[in-house]
Amino acid sequence: MRILVTGGAGFIGSCVADTLIGAGHDVRILDVLLPAAHPAYPSGRPGYSADLDLRVADVRDRSAVATALSGVEAVVHQAAMVGLGTGATDLPDYVGINDLGTAVLLEAMADAGVGRLVVAGSMVVYGEGRYLCRRHGAVRPGPREEADLAAGVFEPRCPHCAALLTPGAVEEDAPLDPRNVYAATKVAQEHLASAWARMTGGAAIALRYHNVYGPRMPRDTPYAGVASLFRSALERGIAPRVFEDGGQRRDFVHVADVAEANRAALAATDRPGFRAYNVASGQVHTVGEMARALADALGGPEPVVTGEYRLGDVRHVTASPDRAAAELGFRARWDFEAGMKEFAAAPLRG
């Protein structure tokens, strides 16, 4: 199958492209090579994939997207601006790249008669994860109050009785509750993909990635993942700075597993309609545990728990991987401890 991978020169996209090539697919890549995510390559282009058909263009460029779709049977849409960014000045770029870019792509797919789509979603669409209150059962806490955060009270409270809550694993049918601009754009991407599937009779699958780590992560940018930031600090002999109390619960999933989830999802796009899946390991670890695992693997200084916080961050979000296992036949293979040891020595970008 000939597949267009948007953002296919990036961290996750390049691993997806390599996995699809390894599975025998003919892969074409569309990537604008944003400086925030890509260093200045000596050759002018990255060389991750053995058979790299790279079109350097913006996903918002209608003409370039239409040309890249020529002869394509399916699209794996990874192109996006990620992370919390640097402030309000990032707002137009997040909305433009993530949402307008997706709309341009979907329009071009409809014109070209391409009816199979896998889109990179994110756990951020859930906001806070699943919580239980002893008195009120399953509840959806609102955004944490800045006064609580400043006082070191990081756990969300029950919206009915203000009691502290017990976190659990979120499933795909949970209400979407974006807590920052990036999250809002990822929700919009899913809605656009769902509307496109209804309008065209196409098949769209959104893969809600949890905390992805692994080789080729970008280093030292405002858009890098926390695992990359911690590792970069340790390589400089600096203790990782862990926000809040380090107890934030996350699901860390290796990029090789994410790439395999994309391959499995692509095989399921023979069924029309829209469907979302968590892409997660099913293993719960805290941000503090991840920092310590990297420090141990690199022999670096112990992490420093700072008590600092960022408005818009969520406290806990971990996922059930059961739907992906049952419907896509996908389960993550990488164990947390082995993955962190591998990541500590893996090449980064930048």
Helical ranges in the chain per DSSP H: 11-22, 62-68, 91-94, 101-112, 146-150, 181-200, 226-235, 255-267, 287-298, 322-328, 336-345
185: pLDDT strictly greater than 80:
yes
pLDDT of residue 347: 86
User: 45-66 pLDDT, tens per residue?
Assistant: 776 665 679 999 999 999 999 9
**Ranges 85-94, 245-254, 324-333: which has the least confidence:** 85-94
Residue 44 DSSP class? S
- Quickly state the pLDDT bin for 74 (edges 50, 70, 90): very high
Residue 36 DSSP class? T
**Ranges 204-213, 221-230, 294-303, 312-321: which has the least confidence:** 221-230
Domains and CATH numbers, the chain: 2-128+170-214+252-281+318-333 (3.40.50.720)
Active site residues: 182
Tokens found for residue 171: 């499933």
- Quickly state the pLDDT bin for 272 (edges 50, 70, 90): very high
Mean pLDDT (whole number) for 108-112: 98
